[in-house]
Structure 1
Amino acid sequence: MSRRLRRWQAECLELAKIHYLNHVDFFVQATPASGKTRLAAEIAHWLLEEERIDFVICFAPTREVVAGIQRTFTAVLYQRFGDTLASVGAAYTYQSMEHHPEDFWTLFTKYRTLTIFDEMHHCAGHDPLLSNTWGQKIIQRIQNAATYTLALSGTPWRSDDLPIALARYSNPEGKLICDYRYDLQTAVYDGVCRLPRITLIDNPLIRLTEETENTASVRAFSSFQQLLGESPISYEDLLRHDDVLNAVLDLGIDRLNQERSSVPNAGGLVVATDIEHAHQIAALLHFKGESHVVVNSQTPKAHQLIDQYRHNSMRWIIAVSSKRSFQDVVDLLHVPERSQ
């Protein structure tokens, strides 16, 4: 793999070299799909070359992300990097923390390790009583044992307001302190990420038929906002309504056709609310003659399907809007071979 780095990666790498001279923990917030895994591999490469560590151990939310880490680290380190420690390092899912034998945890005390946490916001807590399972393991087994830690996150906050494990917060404001921050605005300016464009869709002629045992009444609404505020219809109902889905998909198909006029293998990403919704969308795309693939947390060998999509001419990929599968797709799709 070429050693050429993006500007932010090179800048963050140099900062990490200085930081690790006097500190153990390094926290990086970088916008999704900006290249955090490559940065982590470069930091590991430097620590190994400087003979500051013996092993690199990574944790990530899913098997698909773990597989991506293994590929990137193998290429950057020019050494075997697998799912066992018969190499310079290994990557594991956070779920695996609950099943490692005692011998695994002694690695952190017997050897010098760089421990990397991908999407660190999944791990909550600063003390064992107010932590989730993964946060507890980090506090009990890694926090005071790892030689160095590197925490990465694209969205460094939690909806339950619990602190993120290993993170530092300002006092009394309670704001997360990042050692390096690379936000979306800067990533767009650098050409690393694309400027998000939001298209609002509404309907001024909505008709809702409400039936009782003996009568049926029709109510008119001038917008989706009015419909949601003045009827029993929920946003979830709209997302699963075939007419709404068809309207949105038709707009997406038109836009993808425009993109393909200049980028022949451009692809489209559809985000579903759950697996059932994903297959509903897939059925509609199939009816329209649109080639597609569905990828979710239950898809066998999902990362292989994503890799295939990156390099073929299939038009659509459908992911589920969860903390796991959606981010897997976004991270793995962010390569120059395919327009998104």
Structure 2
Amino acid sequence: MLRKWQAECVSLALSKYRSGHAHFLAQATPGAGKTIMAATLAKQMFDSKEIDFVLCFSPSKAVADGIKSTFSQLLECSFNGALGETGCSMTYQSLRFVTKRFWDTLSKYKVLCIFDEIHHCGGDNELNSNSWGNQLLSDVQHAATFTLALTGTPWRSDKTPITLASYTDPKGKIVCDYRYSLAQAVQDGVCRKPKIALIDCEEVKVTESEGLRSYNTIDELLNEGDVTYALILKDQQALLHLIGEAVSRLISIQAESPNAGGLIVASSIQEANKIASILTNSYAQSSVVVSYRDTSSHEKIKEFKETHSKNWIVSVGMVSEGTDIPRLQVCCYLTKIKTELYFRQVLGRILRVTKSPNQEAWLYTFAESNMIRCAEEIETDIPDTCLYLKYECPDSQPSRVDESSKTKAFDAQLFPASIAEISFNWSDDLPASEPPNGKNTDSFESSIQLARFNQRVIEAFRGM
């Protein structure tokens, strides 16, 4: 049984295709059920003989496997791309390894191409598209009879226009063919109401060469002090407090829903291992670490999803969007990535409604200015800061996917573009860069004292 929005979207897409249009762009909030909608659309087009084949593309292997599972169930086939099959599911990274002969052969048939999380493919022409977007603009669109582009967030962090999106004016305001917001999903009972806990502290002391300085909030420290946000994310006391609050919340939820689990998004593999150690040694919580560098991460994610043997999954570049783990109900956002796009993608991991008695969804992060803004704007479908996509066409666009991308689920473009936001290189996982505005790095790590923690809780859609 389709949800109301899914049935509406399928009907509208069919109507548009049958009226002579080849492309359809749908934005539905994370957790709303885009994959089932897409699979249902494909099935109806197969039944009416409008397509012979369907190709699905997504940003990671975990998501691609989930799509394969859903499509194989609804289409009653293995959906592995073998001879005689109706389709297959692959990652965007794998596009560069597909031969031109394959696309030429495919162009002789009626093909539906489905692009999940289309914001990963920037560009609307060959001059301003990245490597994945350029592949879509050339080979894939040439072979496709119809395209279905899906996204939970119709903007990119690097402000490059989304491939296949329609624009209504020169400023690049996106127009979706169908939109299903988080507000609608909450009202329909499709998604949970998120609660965001912003952890702050009333007493911050920093010892500098000039002497001792005091601050009353984390945001004041970051704005006025010689400290970056990355240093807060490494502070032992801050981590102990925030993780402790999240653990207490998960234990409370598990009293009603024993299978509930938690997600922690970390900045680096080094930090992820540190967080896992805190969970084990300080709070007696079981956890598993997954990262884009671990070739067994997809199996670990699957085991965490299905066996319920671990309380927490600590992720580096693996569980941000599209990964379906319905048991997740608590999240700690402990990454240096401060874009609204990434924040909403991570939040979406804990919003899927299940049959469990408890349907709370909690996200914990620090009260840094960008995090505060993201939390306060969560009820806004498309925040004003992200409504327009402005861009300049560079002379050339280097490839952003290396050979290891065949197994990598990490999109480097989600990192903020400003040096100020990626200045600290705490491990080998991220490229080094100069500290912003002369701010110091490790020299002050042991000189920061955070005390008297408090939290502000933002409860979205309270009136619904």
Asked if 1:154 is matched to 2:152, the reply is yes
Residue 196 of structure 2 aligns to a residue whose secondary structure is coil
Aligned equivalents of 1:301 and 1:5: distance in 2? 34
1:95 deviation in Å? 1.2
1:160 deviation in Å? 2.4
* Structure 1: runs of 5 or more not aligned: none
* Counterpart in the other structure of 1:318: 314
When structure 1 is superposed on structure 2, of 79-88 and 90-99 the one drifting more is 79-88
The partner residue of 1:278 within 272, 277, 281 is 272
Query: Are the structure 2 counterparts of residues 256 and 7 from structure 1 closer, same or farther at C-alpha, using a change threshold of 3 Å?
Result: same
* Counterpart in the other structure of 2:252: 258
Deviations for 1:230-288, whole angstroms, at most 9, x for unmatched residues? 22111111011111000001111111121122112221221212322222111110112
Residue 284 of structure 2 aligns to a residue whose secondary structure is coil
Residue 200 of structure 1 aligns to a residue whose secondary structure is strand
Identity of aligned residues (%): 41
1:336 deviation in Å? 2.8
Residue 88 of structure 2 aligns to a residue whose secondary structure is strand
1:331 deviation in Å? 6.0
* Counterpart in the other structure of 2:236: 242
1:161 deviation in Å? 2.2
Aligned equivalents of 2:91 and 2:267: distance in 1? 23
1:113 deviation in Å? 0.3
Alignment of 1:123-272 (within 5 A): 123-210=121-208, 212=209, 217-272=211-266
Aligned equivalents of 1:329 and 1:56: distance in 2? 21
Q: Does the aligned pair in 1 maintain the 2:13–2:24 contact within 8 Å?
A: yes
1:85 deviation in Å? 5.0
Residue 80 of structure 1 aligns to a residue whose secondary structure is coil
1:183 deviation in Å? 0.7
Asked if 1:336 is matched to 2:333, the reply is no
Query: Are the structure 2 counterparts of residues 56 and 301 from structure 1 closer, same or farther at C-alpha, using a change threshold of 3 Å?
Result: farther
Query: Are the structure 2 counterparts of residues 239 and 86 from structure 1 closer, same or farther at C-alpha, using a change threshold of 3 Å?
Result: farther
The partner residue of 2:12 within 1, 15, 18 is 15
Residue 98 of structure 2 aligns to a residue whose secondary structure is coil
- What is the letter of the counterpart of residue 219 of structure 2? Q
1:53 deviation in Å? 0.8
- What is the letter of the counterpart of residue 315 of structure 2? A
Deviations for 1:189-236, whole angstroms, at most 9, x for unmatched residues? 1111111211122211212222x5xxx833222111221122211111
1:24 deviation in Å? 0.9
TM-score w.r.t. the length of structure 2 is: 0.68
The partner residue of 1:291 within 275, 286, 295 is 286
Aligned equivalents of 2:312 and 2:140: distance in 1? 41
Aligned equivalents of 1:80 and 1:301: distance in 2? 23
Aligned equivalents of 1:296 and 1:144: distance in 2? 35
Aligned equivalents of 1:34 and 1:28: distance in 2? 12
Q: Does the aligned pair in 1 maintain the 2:161–2:172 contact within 8 Å?
A: no
Q: Does the aligned pair in 2 maintain the 1:310–1:337 contact within 8 Å?
A: no
Query: Are the structure 2 counterparts of residues 220 and 173 from structure 1 closer, same or farther at C-alpha, using a change threshold of 3 Å?
Result: closer
When structure 1 is superposed on structure 2, of 269-278 and 324-333 the one drifting more is 324-333
1:55 deviation in Å? 0.6
Query: Are the structure 2 counterparts of residues 222 and 335 from structure 1 closer, same or farther at C-alpha, using a change threshold of 3 Å?
Result: closer
When structure 1 is superposed on structure 2, of 83-92 and 177-186 the one drifting more is 83-92
Residue 325 of structure 1 aligns to a residue whose secondary structure is coil
When structure 1 is superposed on structure 2, of 68-77 and 151-160 the one drifting more is 151-160
CA RMSD of aligned residues (A): 2.0
1:11 deviation in Å? 1.4
- What is the letter of the counterpart of residue 247 of structure 1? H
* Counterpart in the other structure of 1:327: 321
* Structure 2: runs of 5 or more not aligned: 328-351, 362-464
Aligned equivalents of 1:60 and 1:134: distance in 2? 11
Deviations for 1:143-174, whole angstroms, at most 9, x for unmatched residues? 24311100001111112222211111112452
Deviations for 1:3-30, whole angstroms, at most 9, x for unmatched residues? x112211111111121110211110101
* Counterpart in the other structure of 2:59: 61
Query: Are the structure 2 counterparts of residues 301 and 67 from structure 1 closer, same or farther at C-alpha, using a change threshold of 3 Å?
Result: farther
Residue 133 of structure 2 aligns to a residue whose secondary structure is helix
Q: Does the aligned pair in 1 maintain the 2:234–2:271 contact within 8 Å?
A: yes
Q: Does the aligned pair in 2 maintain the 1:123–1:135 contact within 8 Å?
A: yes
Alignment of 1:87-98 (within 5 A): 87-98=85-96
Alignment: residue pair count: 331
Aligned equivalents of 1:50 and 1:18: distance in 2? 13
The partner residue of 2:3 within 2, 6, 22 is 6
Q: Does the aligned pair in 1 maintain the 2:62–2:323 contact within 8 Å?
A: no
TM-score w.r.t. the length of structure 1 is: 0.91
Query: Are the structure 2 counterparts of residues 328 and 18 from structure 1 closer, same or farther at C-alpha, using a change threshold of 3 Å?
Result: closer
Aligned equivalents of 1:271 and 1:192: distance in 2? 24
